[in-house]
Amino acid sequence: MNGDFARVTFDSAARFSRVLLQQGRILLEADFNEQSAIHHHFLRSLIVDLIGRHWRAGDSFTLAADPQGTADFSISAGHFYLDGILCENDSACSYATQPWPYFPDAEQEPPTAGGLAYLECWERHVSALQYPGLREVALGGIDTASRAQIVWQVRVASQTWVDAHLALVLGALQLRLAIAKPEDRPSIQLVIDHVTNSQTAFTNALANFPGAEADCATAGDLLDALDAARPLMRARAVHDATEDDPCSLSADAAFRSRENQLYRIEVHDSGLADGHATIKWSRENASVVFAIRGAPKLDAESNTLSVGLESFGHDHRTGLCEGQWVELTGDAFEFTPVAPPLGQVLKIDRTRHTIVVQLQQKTTVDFAHCTLLKRWDQHDGVNAAGVLQVEEHNSAAWLPLERGVEVQFRVGGYYRTGDYWLVPARVASRDVGWPQAAGRPAAIPPHGVQRHRAALAYFKRDAADGWEFGRCGCSMLPLCP
């Protein structure tokens, strides 16, 4: 969630049942948002406990071959509950025409042999820039509250795709095993064995298609194995115990800023910390976003973009300056695992509401799909592409961001584009709000994006017989039809 939030306070481990307002107290947006999160956590947990993690209502989300014999396949209308989250398909569609299309590597067609069709969903942040109807015209169209939206996609996993992703997962786990303490190695080895067994079971299920119901259980294990090596990050600010004056900011104070911030550290390029994974960061939770007016124009000779913007923000905090890093993004990048192109602001024309962005690398991106321009705040230590290389350490080495805020990535993580951590930093405490473990900053997985997956069907496809689908998952019918 990249909204303009002060902090995100919900923690399921706290076991809070509701938020209680008190008379004469200030109401913060974090309190209201936590109440909503508590309520959703209860409802989703209840659904899972009563029925299960993955189930469809009736024949919802049933897959079938296209009667016209094309490479596409149909997805029936209805409801599917994934970890208690309602995925709604209002009308029958196809793989190519689903509401939030997913085209890995810019290819529309699914694998030509066989594989696993699965459902993936997550919650994304939607602002008035993406959905203008959120603005209240009677208030002059000012920005008010934003929304959370459930996005779902039917995806397909081929043997090649599974092997490539699990190779990265296993590579990260092997790194953890290599540096683990003797008492921690058995638990890591169990995870490695589970991932390896899931990969083998998937291969066997494809070979034995249509197989048995047990193959659907192995498909669920496989999808869970994709998250077996989520990266771990710690955050801190270095304290100065001798500095007690709240009006003074010493050079070695913890958080050296005169404004409270919510830092967002987000993965840009996927991969391992072997030169592939990169990050970017924002001190405003990546909430400084501008609507693009028209299609950006690329000058191929200078590799610059001329971008028209609807506005330049309200003030310096939400505005743009020359030299800052920005990304051109939109739904096409959010719904497909591709890192948006980054560039540096070269020139700002505030009269014509246009900017010139210097791209650091040649790209084949179709900028007509870019509808938003998002500001990022990384500066020191960036590479030629404007991002920071992920370096993992289990020692005293930390990555400084700015103003005393530092982060550290633990050894053995598989980083994925869009994953993020939130680090609230406060002037009053001159520190960051971060969980502690044994008196040190705890290493925790990303706060988001929380992706949920469920197997729908194994499938087989060939030129002679076309599509053939199995079926996975439980179906529930209404008690009172």
Q: pLDDT digits over 67-109, tens only? A: 776 778 899 999 999 999 999 999 999 998 899 986 655 445 6
Are 56 and 78 in contact, with CB atoms under 8 Å apart?
A: yes
Nearest to 334 by CA among 270, 418, 226, 415: 418
Distance CA 111, CA 161 (A): 10
| Rounded distance between C-alpha atoms, residue 3 and residue 469, angstroms | 41
Decide: helix, strand or coil at residue 312. coil
Query: Among 201, 225, 226, which Cα is nearest to 458's?
Result: 201
What CA–CA distance (Å, rounded) separates 481 from 478? 5
Which position has the token pair 């030299």?
323
Q: Which tokens go with 428?
A: 């009053």
DSSP string for residues in 58-121: TTTT-EEE-TT--S-EEE--EEEEETTEEEEE-S-EETTT-SS---GGG--S--SSEEEEEEEE
Q: Say how far apart CA 157 and CA 458 lie, in whole Å.
A: 9
Residue 276 tokens, joined: 């592939």
Cβ of 126: how many Cβ atoms within 10 Å? 16
Could you read off the pLDDT of 439-480 as tens digits, one per residue?
999 999 999 899 999 999 999 877 666 788 888 989 999 888
Q: Tell me 468's DSSP state.
A: E
pLDDT in tens, the chain (481 residues): 788 899 999 999 999 999 999 999 998 999 999 999 999 999 999 999 999 999 999 999 999 987 776 778 899 999 999 999 999 999 999 998 899 986 655 445 666 678 999 999 999 999 999 999 998 889 887 888 999 999 999 999 999 999 999 999 999 999 999 999 999 999 999 999 999 999 999 999 988 887 666 688 889 999 999 999 999 999 999 754 444 455 544 554 566 667 899 999 999 999 999 989 999 999 999 999 999 999 899 988 899 999 999 888 777 788 899 999 999 998 888 888 788 889 999 999 998 999 999 998 888 888 888 899 999 999 999 998 899 999 998 878 899 999 899 999 999 999 999 999 999 999 988 999 999 999 999 999 999 899 999 999 999 877 666 788 888 989 999 888 7
Structure tokens at 180: 């683990």
Helix (H) or strand (E) holding 232: none
| Whether the Cβ atoms of residue 116 and residue 202 lie closer than 8 Å to each other | yes
Q: What is the pTM of this model?
A: 0.91
Query: Do the beta carbons of residue 341 and residue 327 sit within 8 Å?
Result: yes
Q: How does the average pLDDT of the chain come out, rounded?
A: 89
Listed in order, strand segments (DSSP E) in 223-260 are: 233-237
